[in-house]
Structure 1
Amino acid sequence: MYLLKILSSEWIKTKRTTIRLIVFVTPIIYPIFMLWYFSRYNDPSSWQIKIYGGFFEVLTVSLPIIISLFTGLISYQEEKSGNFINLLAGPVSRAKFYFGKLFLLILSAIVDIFLATFLMLLGMRYILHVDNIHYDLFLQGVLLSVIGSLILFSMHMLISFALGMGASIAIGGGGFLISAIIGATVVGDNIWQFIPWAWTVRLSQVPMLLMPEAKHAFGMQLSNLYFQELLKGIVPAIICFILVTIIGLIWFNRWEGDKSYE
């Protein structure tokens, strides 16, 4: 219950800010754009797998820059409202403050990605008229996209409060390029599991291995490869998320409100 109160308090702080604009507008605009894009194609043999791959690839490649902006805005908001006084001298412990903001970020991402996917599925059914939609695999894509991006939330929370919004966005921009190159191309086939920015892209694409279209194209059962790819991404993603979150919490408890560049 107390966590819900903290989440509610953190959400109220975002009223009339750019944060809410991002949260409310992005999951609506994105599927509309993707539906318009795929409305120009109609290849029944591979249409659904192309829609899935394109939808989640563009989404997950963009997550590093979106998360860096989101966390940067939250840090900037706290800095401008009393130079972090609520964090440093408020009644809420720093640990609860830290987890409240982190959970708000993650929860917002879950809701946004799910909503965008839900609207995309509706569009596929009623606008594009795609047959036999693999709803379960799209939902897997949502879950794996979130799991792969968890470390980015912890990392950018730490960067935003330690170095400021500018540094967070700059690193997010670099992460965007890395995710596009390592996560979305063959360049990263042998190294993606070691690159945090590539995890969300690669994991989101794994459910495609279970689509009948993929099995038909490769002429083989891909279930073993499916589980191998899952383990390669999920294990480091969860372990590193926990480690970075603990490091961030320790730093948060010792922080005095100054930035390293000051």
Structure 2
Amino acid sequence: MLRMLQSYWQRTKRTPVRIIIWLCPLVFALVCIAYMSSSPAIKGHEVDAFFEGYAIVASFSISFFVPMLYEIDQQAGRYGNELRSGISRTILFIARFLFIALLLAVIELLAVLPFLMFLLFTGITVHIFDFLCLLALCLITLMSIIPTYQFLSLKFQYSGSIGLGAFFTLASLLLGTTELGQNIWYFFPYVYPIKLVFSYAKQTLSLEELMMFGVFSIFFMFISLFLFSFWYNKWDGTVKLEE
């Protein structure tokens, strides 16, 4: 498994993927820092505002980041190298999931660290427990939707992944930040990244409820991995645009 992860990383060499991994989270953090330095509107709520913004941006960004990673293999041999490698396709699908999840964790840390330094240097109070809870909520809930975007990327490439990603993000904003989804949002795990972060910030859900939905996210992640890896085992390597 470790060799497979190393192989996936080597394939990103000289591609825009590495630029996105290192540059985009730093730019996001700097934009947040610049805004918070000039606006008193969120004074005292800097941490909440940062993670709320991150949840929104990341929920959509993952829809083009995942197909970007798959595009490397699609261009190299139309997925033939993997599909004919002799390695179990289930292992391949899970290994790719782990690789994307690790990159997602790195991106989140790269965004969080400069922001945390800004808070410490400016003397803004940081409640470590709240900070870590928001960090974990973002990572766990975003990880849970990776398998769906793996499927969309393989079957429909950018068009399907980004299209549904935009829909999920808009739906999450409506169901997760307004009263529209008050009684139905918990049926849609794709809403969790935004809904749970906003709920934690506004304290509209108890810690026990947040932990419960975090467990639901993990359960949804495993179910998605099982279903989509089963599909991957029968996939012929043809994307929808080629049919």
Q: 2:51 aligns with which of 50, 53, 56?
A: 56
1:239 aligns with 2:235: no
Distance change in 2, residues 1:257/1:155 (3 Å): same
The answer for the alignment partner of 2:109 in structure 1 is: 114
2:221 & 2:89 partners in 1: Cα distance? 19
1:118-159 per-residue CA deviation (whole Å, 9 max, x = no partner) reads 211111111x331x3112321221111111112320100011
Q: Match for 1:160: what amino acid?
A: S
**Range that drifts further, 247-256 or 188-197:** 188-197
Which string of whole-angstrom CA distances, capped at 9 and with x for unpartnered residues, describes residues 34-71 of structure 1?
1111112347xx733x2122111111112232111011
The letter of the residue matching 1:192 is: W
Matched, 1:255 2:226: no
User: What corresponds to 2:206 in structure 1?
Assistant: 225
Please, what is the CA RMSD of the aligned residues? 2.0
Larger Rg: 1
1 CA distance for matches of 2:118 and 2:180? Answer: 33
Task: Assess if the C-alpha contact under 8 Å between 2:29 and 2:114 holds in 1.
Answer: yes
The aligned amino acid for 2:95 is G
CA deviation string 1:193-228 (max 9, x = no partner): 11222101122245446xxxx7xxxxxxx8x82212
| Counterpart residue identity of residue 34, structure 1 | C
Q: Which residue of 2 aligns with 1:73?
A: 68
What secondary structure sits across from 1:164 in the alignment? helix
What CA distance in whole angstroms lies between the structure 2 residues aligned with 1:205 and 1:21? 29
Q: Contact between 2:189 and 2:217, CA under 8 Å: does it hold in 1?
A: yes
| Structure 2: distance between partners of 1:93 and 1:181 | 40
Which letter maps to 1:135? I
Aligned to 2:79: 84
Between the aligned partners of 2:180 and 2:114, the Cα distance in structure 1 is 32
Report Cα offsets for 1:91-110 as digits up to 9, x if no partner: 43322221221111111111
Equivalent in the alignment of 1:33: 31
Partner of 2:164: 171
1:150 corresponds in structure 2 to 143
Q: Give TM-score scaled by structure 2 length.
A: 0.91
Match of 2:10 among 1, 9, 12: 12
For residues 42 and 108 of structure 1, the distance between their equivalents in structure 2, rounded to whole angstroms, comes to 33
What is the identity, as a one-letter code, of the residue corresponding to 1:204? V
Correspondence for 2:100 among 98, 105, 109: 105
* Distance (Å, rounded) in 1 between the aligned partners of 2:180 and 2:47: 21
- Counterpart pick for 1:192 among 182, 185, 209: 185
Q: How many Å apart are 1:191 and its aligned residue?
A: 2.3
CA contact (8 A) 1:148 1:234 kept: yes
Question: Is 1:155–1:244's contact at 8 Å kept on the other side of the alignment?
Answer: yes
Given that residues 168 and 190 in structure 2 are in contact (C-alpha distance below 8 angstroms), is that contact kept between their aligned partners in structure 1? Answer: yes
Instruction: Give the AA of the match of 1:243.
Output: I
* In 1: Cα distance, 2:59 partner to 2:102 partner: 16
CA distance in 2, matches of 1:32, 1:183: 26
Identity score, percent: 23
Shift in CA distance, 16/60, structure 1 to aligned 2, threshold 3 Å: same
Q: Normalising to structure 1: TM-score of the pair?
A: 0.85
Q: Decide whether the 8 Å contact of 1:68 with 1:172 is kept in 2.
A: yes
Amino acid aligned to 2:30:
I
Gaps of 5+ in 2: none
